[in-house]
Amino acid sequence: MHIDVWSIDATLVNIYPISPPNEKGFALNLEKGVWNSFDIPLSAFSDVVNLAEVLQFKFDGGTGVETIFIDNLYFYGECYIAPDCPQLVWADEFDGTSLNLSNWTPLTGDGCDINLCGWGNNELQWYQPQNAVVSNGSLKITAKQESVGGRAYTSARLITKDKQDFTYGRFEASIKLPEGQGIWPAFWMFHTDAVYGPWPMSGEIDIMEYLGQEKDRIFGTIHHGDLVPNNRNTSGGFRLVNGDFTERFYEFAIEWEENVIRWYIDDYLYLTLRPEDIAPDFWPFNQDFHFLLNVAVGGNLPGNPDATTTFPQTMEVDYVRVYKGRFAHLTGTQRVDYQAEGEVYTVENAGPGSSYNWTVEGGTIVAGQGTSQITVNWGEANQNAKVSVTTTSECGAENTISLDVAIDVQRVIVREFALENFDDEALITFLNASGTFTDNAANPAPNDLNNSALVGKYVRNDGAQFDNIQYSTAAIPDASVFTSGSKTFYVDFYTDAPVGTPLLLQLENSNESLPTNFPAGRHSRYQAITTVQNAWQRLAFTFLDRPDGGTSNTGVDRIVFLFNPNTFTNNTYYYDNFDRYCTDEEEKCFDDSDFVLSDPCNCRNPKNIVLADGTYLFEDTLKIDASSFANPTITFVSQDGKMLNAAGAPLTATTANFIPLGGGVFGLQFYKRSNTTATITVDVNGQQRSFTTTSCTPCPAVVAVPTMGQWGLFLFGLLMINLSLIFLYQKRMLYSHQ
């Protein structure tokens, strides 16, 4: 508090702030005849006087003092800015015994009454209010196998339209999810008024979608673009490291601002989308949206229930809440390499005056403890690896955010075979491209990494936002080996694109995938990021997500490359050595050393057949060592037509027979021409490998072998010139006692 005091005769004045009935004085020592300025700390009064309720001041100059002048009485100090803390706007805690109909409207039917049979997705359920029950502090939406309305299943779909509608904020729900093929629960938002036109022109925000057959994954998505079939969506996903979404409640949230939407799971940020991410599409997310909670059954996505699906299945919701403001959240890498170093984890938006206490399991904090950002060096594979941070701020209670971290094991990485290397016969076939593709182009800069003479060349089309090149293939019999990580695609790239350019590889079913119906038919996506410019680099395509969980693992017949998707760039990409690698951490990678050709080119026992070209058929045994597998299974995949059966015809899968030889070793008997090599491809517990046999020099003659203990007549075809005695002698000696 500041005050100026003047007196002609006083040397001491006491000032008393008064908040009835309390007052407290403070002594001011004056110099007579001049203005005296005083700055008094409010703490001098606050132990007695309620400073927020001061009604008057009293001044006491003592006995004999006639006049005191005062001026400039005011309070001052540093401005206090209240912390920007989240404020609850609306919530339904589901604490009652029935659904609050002032918040929610249950829908009835299968969509046919609004000309949307199957809800636009060929779904199989009939929605009815009784499948949504509030009890014991939560909402339960249950899908049942029962016939109602001509449908084989029932479920519930709740909306807040025209009851609870919102523009911008934080929107969250705590949910425990069901499971099973064909079960599709969702927590999402839809435009309340079609301000920009029908769906998807006015937008849709999927806060959480989940496919019951993939219990460890969820997705966040926005829908935008023009009317069907020119509709589009943009999405991202999150995959748990441990457990699945049926085991406990998880909090799914978005923070929606004017030009950005962020997706969170338990306050871990996994997806951010902005208008530029969907350009040139319009960003319609600036109007009222309302909530939807439902459990769908079957349809294009996620596929229909099968024999493994059990009913009933229930999605349980603990609460739905809306806040103004943002929450503290964690960012950083969820899946790291073996002994990864320098991984950064950050808490954002913790609030003013925050403190931070970090803990890390499975790694070491090397910098940043006590701050909003730490650097971690991770160790070896550890199923309990985790990074956690507890924050406190002026906003109130402690908040702990934890992220389970997957540390990759030390893998054995072995190249299995090439899908395309522009030198040998390819296992993929070029279909079409948005840009300009040149087959068998000259290598722009041969080096130790890639010294091939021929490579592929691709010039991206700068007029195509999602430029791509497509191949057909029959070389992916089971795509699950790529989503699990036991197999990995590697490709060599040389490009003038900037470092950090994303490359996508997409596995598709050609019968289901159309240019305008994403994500239908897209089995899985894999991403690589460029690390150098204008030099060869070998990139691994790591699993990104499963856009369409309904696409079968055995239904992939198309591979699509997307070069720097969602941009309009025109860089040039050379690529080569599109290979499949084994990266299985649990079983030894099957490699060439596991093929053993038993006694190759054995002239003692060729097949007694001379072919028209003068070559012999050799009988060989290919031994395959699968002893590194606990329960090995070996199947014949294909061969180049040079492995023959006993009749001299190409060996086929129906005639191939792998004979157990003991100790995990299997044998395959086959024949081949004496002057040729032969290549065979086999599958050992899902790992495919190819092996090429050696060529053989034709034997000089077909040598007969005597039978022990028997006489036999053998014709040698010798040149007979007075050698009859010699011949008889040899004939006699062929009686064997051994």
SS3 726: helix
**CB within 8 A of 651, min separation 6: which ones?**
636, 639, 643, 644, 645, 670, 680
Residue type, 693: T
Tokens of 243: 């457990």
Dihedral, CA of residue 543, residue 544, residue 549 and residue 550, to nearest 10: -80
Please report the DSSP string for 277-325 in residue order.
Answer: HHTTS----SS-EEEEEEEEE-STTT----TT--S-EEEEEEEEEEEES
Q: Is 258 marked active-site? A: no
Dihedral, CA of residue 521, residue 547, residue 298 and residue 475, to nearest 10: 40
Q: Which of 172, 179, 204, 508 is catalytic?
A: 204
Measured distance CA(185)–CA(250) in Å, rounded = 14
Tokens of 67: 């006049």
- Of 367, 371, 338, nearest to 354 by C-alpha is 371
Spatial contact of 312 and 144, defined as CB atoms under 8 Å apart: yes
Measured distance CA(502)–CA(573) in Å, rounded = 12
Measured distance CA(522)–CA(548) in Å, rounded = 5
Tokens of 126: 């009939």
Q: Which of 209, 214, 343, 508 is catalytic?
A: 209
229 upstream amide cis, omega within 30 of 0? yes
Spatial contact of 457 and 502, defined as CB atoms under 8 Å apart: no
CA dihedral for 282, 283, 286, 292, sign (positive or negative)? positive
Dihedral, CA of residue 371, residue 377, residue 380 and residue 383, to nearest 10: 20
Give CA 500 to chain center in angstroms. 18
H or E stretch including 560? strand 558-563
CA dihedral for 129, 130, 135, 141, sign (positive or negative)? negative
H or E stretch including 429? strand 428-433
Q: Is 209 marked active-site? A: yes
Residues annotated as catalytic (active site), given as ranges: 204, 209
